[in-house]
A and B are shown apart, each in its own frame.
Chain A
Amino acid sequence: MTSATLSQPIRERWWRSRTTRRFITNKLAMFGLGMIVLLVLACILAPHLLPYGSLDIDLRARFAPPFTGYHFFGTDPLGRDVAARLFEAGRISLAVGFSAMLLSTIIGTLVGVIAGYRGGWIGSVLMRTVDGFLSFPSIFLVLALAAALQPSAMMITIVIAATSWMEVARIVDAEVRSLREREFVQAGRMLGLSGAHIMFREILPNALGPIIVAATLTVARAILMEAYISFLGYGIQPPLPSWGNMLNGAQQYLGSAPWLAIIPGAAITIAVASFNFIGDGLRDAFDVRSDGH
């Protein structure tokens, strides 16, 4: 044997891989990641650090503008601290966003992997179902469902997941279709592995890149969707705060107390934009063709 076949293989760790490096060098994506980390930390810590609870009513301090005493973001028409409510709402909004993402990613991945690998009539039925869901105007579906069911954070999560899993399913379906023809999948069949083993142990790990990207973008959409529903009054019910229902409560005071709308509005914008930046950054990082810039 010559040295060529037995030369030391090159070791590569994931944190030194090109994908990781491409993501880290993407300024916008790192900014997004930083903002999300800050936001999550703030939502976790703020209720312990702020002197006011989110439900503490202080009628003497109604409509206090930002930076009045310890009311950094001012107070609302009932004299509740906006900062406390904002971060309490952030907990709910982010939790709804993440759980809806998890749920829709799991459903979408299952449907996509099975449809993509099995193909034939099973694939057709599954993907036509996806088309059916996609052709429904999702906002109306969400509102109809939310109106019919008792609104709660769990209910909102399920409703949002039910209307956003289709995109993941389509991405996974396309990815699995191309992976299915690869020789390592044929090799799996040659070894006599079961269909489920090939789908979830052999193929799925290779489709993780696009799934992660889609999942990240789904968080952004879920947060936005929750804000819509709560703003329209079908979502999280007061007095429990959410970014959407804080905006709803701020409507009538737009002229006199603009900070009531601006602050939760900004929180939604920052969260959604940050998740989108991360998603775009991940997409570029997973795309080998974007190398060499």
Chain B
Amino acid sequence: MTPQYQTDGATGPALSVRGLTIDLPKDMERRHAVEDISFDLQDGQILCIVGESGSGKSVTANTIMGLLPSSIRVSAGEIHLGGAEAGELIGAAPATLRNLRGRVVSMIFQDPLSALNPLMTVGEQITEVLTAHGVGTREWQRARVIELLTEVSLPDPQLMYHQYPFRLSGGQRQRVMIAMALALEPKILIADEPTTALDVTTQAQILHLIRDIQRRKGMSVMFITHDFGVVAEIADSVVVMEKGRIVETGSADAVLKSPSHPYTKRLIAAVPALTGENRAAASNAAPEPIIRVEGLGKTYRIGSALFGGEYLVKAVQDVSFEIGPGRTLGIVGESGSGKSSLGRLLVKLQDGNGGRILFEGRDIVPLSDAEFRPLRPKIQMIFQDPFASLNPRSTIGHILTVGPVAHGMDYPKARKEAQALLSHVGLDAGAFERYPHEFSGGQRQRIGIARALMFKPKLLVADEAVSALDVSIQAQILELLDQIQRETGVSMIFITHDLRVASQICDEIAVMQKGRIVEQGPPSQIFLDPRSAYTRELVDAIPGRMPAEARLSALN
């Protein structure tokens, strides 16, 4: 049988980390992944470790699990496991660690698709955990797996047992991961950004599930996240990390309401607030819209008509809206809602079928690539992934000037404008000669924005332009976009999955679901008085809608 743990009240920490220092390989930008960190995971509590990318939070989690790559070494400190199997984890024999892993300490990961084996059914994968630790007979294992699948609220556990991971949605896969982590009733669960890759409504469900299971089983949970919204939702206590050091610890209440360290204050302030207030108009709204979309549609054909099995996916259906000069329309939706397809249709990276896009009064849908080329400079796009959207083999100078030069600007002029724009978006002119890999994510996104601005466009389409960035960088980029709009009067279409971000920058918001716009209106309507059930569900799922006083004190 599985070992059962009694939670006999407050018996000291389930896990305590003392003076932990982990070295990085020599040629990295800093010497230590984490430096002299100490914290306790109290029995039966949820501890959130918060930090931005590169803060060392995931390295800490992997060290506890004994899963560090061989190039990274622990140079000092100890990790003490409390409870029935008390012991020191640093320096323990690999066999001891393997025995503890899964049974006493268990982990769930950010990306449930790559953490699951695509060639094994859900049932087989969970059974494997039980078999690896030699627990139970075959019949007992099967019953236990069904019980686990029921426990994480997966629909139809009998059927789910025989499913392959690719058939499940992101949320269902994460539930399978949780079931697998719970298989041996571990005392400690480490969750490394388990909801970051999920949609908001799914995220809310998974957070609820983790909290619920933690309470029922009296588990201790170490929850790693970058999102203070999630912290407000789930944490009992909080550890804030910056560049490998702990800058603040305390109860969730204390840290959220009265953060003491400037970095914590900055992080909390950077979490986009859901204002529900309408944005001050950037310009006096001119009556003539810059772009008007009427009944736009896009249908994908999947499979082959020739060999049968062809079916149609309606990515965008009957979408209509218009934007005036200098205004921003937010397009909000979960993955698969068709918002990115819509963005691609607007800049004609894809051709629509059905409907009209009137840009300055001219329908651009029927135009061929060659006919549309002269119009391209007026409609520009900012892409999601700052690492993929810049050609790694081109200098920043080339990236910025290649477009204008192709449209007939002479190089010296393009070069001058590029250098002026670089300083405008907050980079020094020396960036001109460098390559993309020499810059951080936020810096690259600034380059992407500068590239789009080289043509002085009339319309900017920003497709998830801040989703891949840390919150503090996110806030800076939003500020930059706002400033640019006020200076140039460019209209913007801001595509995002994050309602909080949309509330920051949009004059109007359109909510998309399954290819259709289900609701459209100013932020005050969408957030405070949503008309459609789906919008209400989205707004309710936003993690950690903090009370206003918490935010105010954070800002001071």
Contacts and interface: CB of A to CB of B under 8 A. Distances in A.
Interface of A: 1-2, 4-7, 9-12, 182-184, 186-194, 197, 201-202, 205-206, 292
Contact of B373 (A6, A192, A197, A206): A192
Contacts of A186: 349, 381, 383, 389
A4 B440 contact: yes
Nearest to A202: B391
A184 B389 CA distance: 4
19 contacts: A4-B440, A4-B472, A5-B426, A6-B426, A9-B439, A10-B438, A11-B434, A183-B385, A184-B390, A184-B392, A186-B383, A186-B389, A187-B448, A187-B451, A188-B402, A191-B376, A193-B403, A193-B406, A194-B406
Contacts of B439: 9
Contact of B380 (A11, A182, A190): A190
Nearest to B454: A191
Interface in B355-398: 373, 376-377, 380-381, 383-385, 388-394
A252 B430 CA distance: 70
A34 B500 CA distance: 60
A1 B426 contact: yes
A5 B446 contact: yes
B71 interface: yes
Shortest beta-carbon contacts, A-B, top 10: A191-B403, A192-B376, A9-B438, A183-B389, A205-B393, A183-B388, A184-B391, A183-B383, A192-B373, A190-B381
Contacts of B393: 205-206
Contacts of A206: 391-393
B162 interface: no
A154 B73 CA distance: 58
A197 B373 CA distance: 14
Contact of B29 (A10, A184, A205, A292): A10
Interface in B44-70: 69-70
A6 B380 CA distance: 25
B391 A292 contact: no
B524 to A, nearest CB: 31
Contacts of B406: 191-194, 197
B438 A12 contact: yes
A200 to B, nearest CB: 12
A2 B472 contact: yes
Contacts of B349: 186, 189-190
B31 interface: no
Contacts of B380: 190
A182 B387 CA distance: 10
Given A202-B391, A292-B69, A292-B70, 5 more contacts: A9-B443, A183-B383, A186-B383, A190-B347, A193-B403
A184 B205 CA distance: 35
Contacts of B442: 4-5
Given A5-B446, A192-B403, A205-B393, A12 B384 contact: no
A255 to B, nearest CB: 56
- The SS class assigned to the B binding surface is loop
A180 B446 CA distance: 23
A157 to B, nearest CB: 30
B245 to A, nearest CB: 15
A76 to B, nearest CB: 51
Interface in B267-300: none
Contacts of A184: 388-392
B476 interface: yes
Contacts of B391: 184, 188, 202, 205-206
Contacts of B416: none
A5 B443 contact: yes
Contacts of B402: 188, 191, 193, 197, 201
Interface string B471-482: 011001000000
Contacts of B377: 192
A12 B403 CA distance: 27
B314 interface: no
B407 interface: yes
Contacts of A194: 406
B344 to A, nearest CB: 8
A90 to B, nearest CB: 36
A117 B394 CA distance: 19
Contacts of A201: 402
B69 A9 contact: no
B138 interface: no
A121 B462 CA distance: 33
B69 A4 contact: no
A146 B446 CA distance: 59
Nearest to B25: A292
Interface string B21-36: 0000000010000000
A1 B266 CA distance: 12
A170 to B, nearest CB: 22
B397 to A, nearest CB: 14
A292 B388 CA distance: 24
Contacts of A292: 69-71
A192 B440 contact: no
A187 B383 contact: yes
A190 B376 contact: yes
B261 interface: no
Nearest to A208: B393
Interface string B447-476: 010010000000000000000000011001
Nearest to B388: A183
B495 to A, nearest CB: 14
A50 to B, nearest CB: 45
Nearest to B479: A1
Contact of B476 (A1, A9, A11, A12): A1
A4 B55 CA distance: 13
Interface in B194-221: none
Contacts of A190: 347, 349, 376, 380-381
A11 B435 CA distance: 9
Contacts of B428: 6
A251 B349 CA distance: 64
B493 to A, nearest CB: 14
Contacts of B347: 190
Given A183-B388, A187-B389, A192-B377, A5 B440 contact: yes
Contacts of A192: 373, 376-377, 403, 406-407
B437 interface: yes
A9 B380 CA distance: 27
Given A193-B403, A206-B393, A292-B70, A9 B384 contact: no
Contacts of B434: 9, 11
B427 to A, nearest CB: 8
B229 to A, nearest CB: 21
B210 to A, nearest CB: 31
Contacts of B427: 6
Given A191-B402, A197-B406, A205-B393, A2 B385 contact: no
B69 A182 contact: no
Contacts of A197: 402, 406
Contacts of B476: 1-2, 5
A10 B391 CA distance: 17
A189 B406 CA distance: 11
A202 B443 contact: no
A24 to B, nearest CB: 15
Contacts of B437: 12
Contacts of A9: 431, 434, 438-440, 443
Given A187-B389, A191-B406, A192-B407, A7 B376 contact: no
